[in-house]
Structure 1
Amino acid sequence: MDTSESSTPPETEADPDPQERHRRGWRRWAMDTRPLRRPAYRRLWSSTIVTAVGSQLTAVAVPKQIYDITGSSAWVGYASLAGLLPMVLFALWGGAVADTMDRRRLLLITNTGIAVTSVLFWLQAVSGLDSVAVLMVLLAAQQAFFGLNAPARNASIARLVPAQELAAANALGSTVMQVGLVAGPLLAGALIPVIGLPELYLIDALALCLTLWAVVRLPALPPLAGSTVRRAGVREIAEGFRYISRHKVLLLSFLADVIAMVFGMPRALFPQLAAETYAPYGEGLALGLLFAAIPIGAVLGGLFSGTFSRARRHGWMVIGAVVAWGASITGFGLSGSLWLAVVFLAAAGVADMVSMVFRGAILLSAATDEMRGRMQGVFTVVVAGGPRLADVLHGTAGAAFGPRAAVAGGGLLVVVVMLGLAAAVPALRRYRV
């Protein structure tokens, strides 16, 4: 950890009385809200609340509009790929940029860019342009701005809260994002028949304007004194990867997520399972429950983050969470009952929340400030890319071995590989904040 940084983040309030850290009764188990006592973090978090739901409105509206224009699910898939590549490239570059300039300024620029693209989405919908090419260009631009934005936003957290509150801060942010994943699509589905697609884009644009106000009120977050990073080119991006290779705990935190998501994310098989294994319950009901169960479990994990956010052995928490994820996915694969399957998937969601919280805390605490942007850029790519690789792997395995065998086998593989990695390389086991 960079000992050159001040132990007190900018614009923070005094730490609460030590006795308050040991809360009694139900409050001991509820969400750990200590970071919200920090005014700067509270502003950053409040902007996340607005965008978590608003961004999901556009995430639903774009594929809906493309399908309405083309009548083809293939074009919906092509649009997803059109957004993925710019996001990956600009997340890697954006991480390097976040290490060279005031992160607050970068957040203002990128949030403005995202808001402008939302306005353009609204204008093309209002005009009745009905152009898939325009939609794909706008989607690519918006995802590029998101790739630039995410590393700066995540890297800023370590400058706004003290090290012992990083896990709690990550839990608060992750919970809001998971709530958005559940509430946003439901809200979009309810609003589209009532107000139409153009107004859905407009709501997202207006919500993004509110986030700009919150970001404006953040303190300046320039590179710390002594930072040697002056530019953001290929060499600096490559140095980020070399930094990961030299710090095993960072490398292992990325590998833990790759193991969990690539081997153990079975969402590509949900439609087949809903149509075959859980058909007696109703295919539509089964499909909805399968897709909703993991985010709902993650939200529950966040709401009760007080049960784990004060843990100091962050490495063991990641190992345990990934193993619990794999075991839960295995249980899901073996479940013939829809309701038991939902319970296992919800348990997997809780484990995923714990893993996200402590992997994020490790990336912020184990890296120096001049490297945090690049670490968050790689983190953004891993989080976005892992589930997409899993879709290919599970789809192929499901066709070869059957969906339930593929799911259960993937879950077991997660457990075995994670335990083997933890046994072979002790850096993650030994890491504590």
Structure 2
Amino acid sequence: MTQPVDPQEGGAPVEEPVPAPVRRRGWTIDTTPLRDPGYRRLFWGIATTTIGQQMTLVAVPFQVYALTGSSFLVGVTSMVALVPLIVFGLLGGAIADAVDRRRVLLVSSVGAAVTSALLAAQALLPGGGNLVLLWVLTAAVSAFTAVNSPARYAVIPALVGPAGVPAANALAMTVRQIGVIVGPLVAGLLIGLGSLFAAYAIDAVGFLVAVLLLRGLPPLPPGRDAGPLRLRATLQGVWEGFAFLRTQPVLLMTFVVDIIAMLFAWPQAVFPELSETRFEGAPNALGWLFAGISIGALAMGLTSGWVSKVDRQGAVVIVSIAAWAVAIIGFGFAPTLWLAVLCLAVAGAGDMVSAVLRSAMLQLAAPEEMRGRMQGVFIVVVTGGPRLGDLRAGGLASAAGVTFAMASGGVIVVLAMVAVALLVPSFWLFRASRATGSERV
């Protein structure tokens, strides 16, 4: 593994400290990483920004529809946010591997705070805002978030040590699921009270709190020496990341299996149709369908103590994705709302296990100098996959029905996981205890 650099010794390599063993906690979520003051600051930074970000994700499409009355333009807004997320997710990963990651976190958090404050200000404009300005600010906050995310997850191994990575990921992803559930509910309440400004302002305040927390982090230099940050060097860094990824079958498959799961079995596009047809008359059917996956993910996060004990991470990822797919098949056939939500919750639990372990595999198996770029690709995959899945599910459901769209996709995912286990045995056999972060895996 690449030795860290002590900035007080003129860049001389120092011995990497041996991480303290992680305390085992059975089934309850493992909170051991919170003992580390640096990770504790990072965790609460994530917690303070997640709810606000989810509120903005509700407020922006609501405001677009209020301004235009067009669902098509609401869809265009989604693409306005997605493009910078992809572009700056990749660039942000390269930046996180070229400069101090603490600096990246601070600058991107300040940028997001300022942009969210501007979103709040434009909500007060006469007529309820301006569509073009709203799009520009939406793209900007998406770009700052995309730069922030790779650095945020790339620093986890340096803060908690390799043994603490799975538990740290579980904590971060669990608090995110709480935000996914709470944020939209609070945003809906504020919007219902006529306070769109407050929904954006809370997001800005959350980022400001995160800045204050992140200032207390120690310097977090990348695992390599780098010159001044330049666009050409950053683009070269992105290319080097993809070139490295092609030589690493295990790391590559962490992305491939997630794309397969999301492309063929992401169900969100069929929720509106089901709420208006199969589950018509059920109280708040649409809300329960949208909450189903997050409910299961949150429940799994709160009982994820066992995840930090998993050594055969590749095998468990494959099994958990297969469980996701089987649950989606059940969802496609579910005749009642409660059974559909239960299937979605099971799917969300499987996805949570997969996400925690795939992120841990990236952080453990990638060398320090590549972790930012690998997390950049991770952000692009987990963001773009569901949108491609929406396109497939919506189109197939329109042509052949919801049940066929969901069941056929689930079957494809199960068969694909069997194929991955047989054709890429290095992924199936991957063990966290053997990951060095510097060897080809």
TM normalised by structure 1 equals 0.93
Aligned CA distance change for structure 1 residues 405 and 4 (closer, same or farther; 3 Å): same
What are the Cα deviations for residues 55-104 of structure 1, in whole angstroms up to 9, with x where unaligned? Answer: 11211111111111111111111111111101110111111011000000
Q: Which residue of 2 aligns with 1:330?
A: 329
SS at match of 1:148: helix
Question: Would the aligned equivalents of 2:52 and 2:183 in 1 still touch at CA under 8 Å?
Answer: yes
Distance 2:306 2:285 in 1: 31
Q: Which residue of 1 aligns with 2:155?
A: 156
SS at match of 2:254: helix
Verify: 1:260 aligned to 2:258, yes or no: no
Q: Match for 1:35: what amino acid?
A: P
Question: Would the aligned equivalents of 2:98 and 2:225 in 1 still touch at CA under 8 Å?
Answer: no
The Cα shift of 1:193 comes to 2.8
Distance 1:67 1:296 in 2: 28
Q: Which residue of 2 aligns with 1:199?
A: 198
Distance 1:288 1:379 in 2: 28
Q: Which residue of 2 aligns with 1:374?
A: 373
Question: Would the aligned equivalents of 1:301 and 1:350 in 2 still touch at CA under 8 Å?
Answer: yes
What are the Cα deviations for residues 370-424 of structure 1, in whole angstroms up to 9, with x where unaligned? Answer: 1011101111100110000001111111112110111011111111011111111
The Cα shift of 1:225 comes to 5.4
Aligned CA distance change for structure 1 residues 428 and 227 (closer, same or farther; 3 Å): farther
Q: Match for 1:62: what amino acid?
A: V
Q: Which residue of 2 aligns with 1:81?
A: 79
Q: Which residue of 2 aligns with 1:15?
A: 20
Question: Would the aligned equivalents of 2:108 and 2:145 in 1 still touch at CA under 8 Å?
Answer: yes
Question: Would the aligned equivalents of 1:269 and 1:403 in 2 still touch at CA under 8 Å?
Answer: yes
SS at match of 1:32: coil
Question: Would the aligned equivalents of 1:227 and 1:370 in 2 still touch at CA under 8 Å?
Answer: no
Verify: 1:59 aligned to 2:48, yes or no: no
The Cα shift of 1:226 comes to 5.9
Question: Would the aligned equivalents of 1:224 and 1:369 in 2 still touch at CA under 8 Å?
Answer: yes
What are the Cα deviations for residues 8-52 of structure 1, in whole angstroms up to 9, with x where unaligned? Answer: 38xxxx836x8xx344xxxx2111111111110010001111111
Distance 1:228 1:418 in 2: 42
Aligned CA distance change for structure 1 residues 316 and 118 (closer, same or farther; 3 Å): same
Q: Match for 2:152: what amino acid?
A: R
Question: Would the aligned equivalents of 1:164 and 1:310 in 2 still touch at CA under 8 Å?
Answer: no
Q: Which of 81, 103, 106 pairs up with 2:101? A: 103
Q: Match for 1:262: what amino acid?
A: L
Distance 1:414 1:330 in 2: 10
Question: Would the aligned equivalents of 1:91 and 1:148 in 2 still touch at CA under 8 Å?
Answer: yes
Distance 1:58 1:112 in 2: 17
Q: Match for 1:260: what amino acid?
A: A
Distance 1:165 1:261 in 2: 28
Task: Count how many residue pairs are aligned between Structure 1 and Structure 2.
Answer: 419
Aligned CA distance change for structure 1 residues 47 and 278 (closer, same or farther; 3 Å): same
Distance 1:107 1:226 in 2: 19
Q: Match for 1:295: what amino acid?
A: S
Question: Would the aligned equivalents of 1:34 and 1:168 in 2 still touch at CA under 8 Å?
Answer: yes
Q: Which moved more, 1:226-235 or 1:39-48?
A: 226-235
Question: Would the aligned equivalents of 1:422 and 1:429 in 2 still touch at CA under 8 Å?
Answer: yes
Distance 1:7 1:34 in 2: 20
Q: Which residue of 2 aligns with 1:233?
A: 234
Question: Would the aligned equivalents of 1:229 and 1:370 in 2 still touch at CA under 8 Å?
Answer: no
The Cα shift of 1:195 comes to 5.5
SS at match of 2:310: coil
The Cα shift of 1:229 comes to 10
Distance 1:228 1:324 in 2: 46
Q: Match for 1:33: what amino acid?
A: T
Q: Match for 2:17: what amino acid?
A: T
Q: Which residue of 2 aligns with 1:94?
A: 92
SS at match of 1:309: helix
The 5 A counterparts of 1:391-410 are 391-410=390-409
Question: Would the aligned equivalents of 2:113 and 2:204 in 1 still touch at CA under 8 Å?
Answer: yes
SS at match of 1:82: helix
The Cα shift of 1:227 comes to 6.9
Q: Which residue of 2 aligns with 1:361?
A: 360
The 5 A counterparts of 1:154-303 are 154-194=153-193, 196-224=195-223, 232-279=233-280, 281-282=281-282, 285-303=284-302
What are the Cα deviations for residues 140-166 of structure 1, in whole angstroms up to 9, with x where unaligned? Answer: 111111111111111111111111111
